[in-house]
Amino acid sequence: MVHSGTRRSQYGEVSEAIFLTQGFVYETAEDAEARFIKVGEDEFIYARYGNPTVRMFEDRMAELEGAEDAFACASGMAAVNAVLMACLKAGDRVVAAKALFGSCLYILEDILTRYGVDVVLVDSTDLDAWDAAVNENTTLVFFESVSNPTLKLTDINAVSVIAHKVGALVVVDNIFATQTFSQPISHGADVVLYSTTKHVDGQGRCLGGIVLGKREFIRGTLEPYLKHTGGALSPFNAWVMLKGLETMDLRVEAQAATALAIAKTLQGHDKLTETLFPGLPNSPDAALVARQMDGKGGTVVSLDLKGGQEAAFRFLNALQIIIISNNLGDAKSIITHPATTTHQRLSKEQRADLGITPGLVRLSIGLEDVRDLTRDILQALDGV
Ligand SMILES: *Cc1c(COP(=O)(O)O)cnc(C)c1O
């Protein structure tokens, strides 16, 4: 996270250089021709195809994930879109979790179906549902290892076994689990993707995304799509992400420890119907957390308030330190009311089906002192 992927210029700089350049110069016309025929290991022709700062970030992320290669994208959604569009064609079937980030659902339900892709959504915690939905036409399965905002885990090993029986590609959105606690490729996944906007930046500055997997997939299937359609990460943002990676483990470990402490304090609170945190010892996902997430519950805690939306809004408005916004993994603690913001697009029935109740709030734990956060939450609950 600190040294991997570094490419030093002739000046031997300590901090990674920002190659804020769109293009590259060739010595001769013959050199230009040769580079366009075959771009070499440490050569670049256009920043949409690749850039040295972006390449450092890709190499560092790949080494951290235990993946052969990676392609960085302009945002998490550019990464999701690229994987789906690069892999699927008319007549293919994709089986995905129904509890997905809203924009991912949009791509699946509203875009891919326009091109004749058969999209089937399942309860991703139900292995029988996967088994029933994955058939011979299935090219790809897609799910979040920890779902947003109800924080339920999907068994990566078990779903991978089901998908691989028919040769389907297993694509995992691992954002909520974080790279600090979980490496889906070691559990059977083929492709892993992140919105690096979240914990990798970790300080709310830049959008970014990345896709990790086998070299043949990244360079053979994904790169042709991305380099011609323009979802490339900016070199400046790649540099911010590189610097973010240097401290990501420290930040995420601290956030997860605070999240666990807060979840334990709030469990059974009389203003709450439920405290959702997979890292709680009595969580229904405890065994999966041990196996798949290094025993840690991540950095997000969701709370279901008695008294529905009115209580939730009163709680949000009474918080003094925790800010109302919709990022996560940030140094600042952030609270969101999914039903009226991130999941507003869904119907009431869909929200109910996903457990997104009117009283549910999603709290992304930051780097503030745990005592300050606890006091803030308790005083705000008092006023509900
Ligand atoms: C944020 C997020 C995305 C999209 O990432 P952007 O960088 O905002 O485009 C996708 N999936 C999950 C689970 C996310 O939290």
Per-residue DSSP letters for 270-304? TTEEEEE-TTSTT-TTHHHHHHHSTT---SEEEEE
What are the Cα distances from residue 366, in Å, to 157, 178, 304?
30, 14, 20
Look at residues 316, 314, 303 and name the one whose alpha carbon lies nearest to residue 268. Answer: 303
Are 143 and 121 in contact by the 8 Å Cβ rule? The answer is: no
Protein residues with CB under 6 Å of any ligand 1 atom: 75-77, 101, 104, 144, 148, 173, 175-176, 195, 197-198, 207, 209
With cut-offs at 50, 70 and 90, classify the pLDDT of residue 325: very high
Q: For a pLDDT cut of 70, what percent of the chain falls above it? A: 100
Look at residues 18, 340, 336, 70 and name the one whose alpha carbon lies nearest to residue 198. Answer: 336
pTM, whole model, 2 decimals? 0.97
Domains of the chain (ranges; CATH) run: 29-243 (3.40.640.10), 248-383 (3.90.1150.10)
Taking the C-alpha atoms of residue 3 and residue 7, their distance in angstroms, rounded to an integer, is 10
How many angstroms separate the alpha carbon of residue 101 from the centre of ligand 1?
7
Q: What is the pLDDT of residue 16?
A: 97
How many angstroms separate the alpha carbon of residue 9 from the centre of ligand 1?
33
pLDDT at 140 over 90: yes
Dump pLDDT digits (tens) for 202-211: 999 999 999 9
In this predicted structure, which of 313-322, 336-345, 373-382 has the lowest mean pLDDT?
A: 336-345
pLDDT at 42 over 90: no
Q: What is the pLDDT of residue 98?
A: 95
* Closest residue by CA, ligand 1 atom 6: 76
CA dihedral 131, 132, 133, 139 (to 10 degrees): 50
Cis (ω within 30 of 0) for the bond into 338? no
More confident residue, 101 or 194: 194
What are the Cα distances from residue 233, in Å, to 53, 58, 219?
10, 10, 16
Mean pLDDT over 234-258 rounds to 98
Pocket residue to mutate for ligand 1, from 73, 104, 198, 342, most atoms within 8 A of Cβ: 198
Q: What is the pLDDT of residue 322?
A: 98
With cut-offs at 50, 70 and 90, classify the pLDDT of residue 311: very high
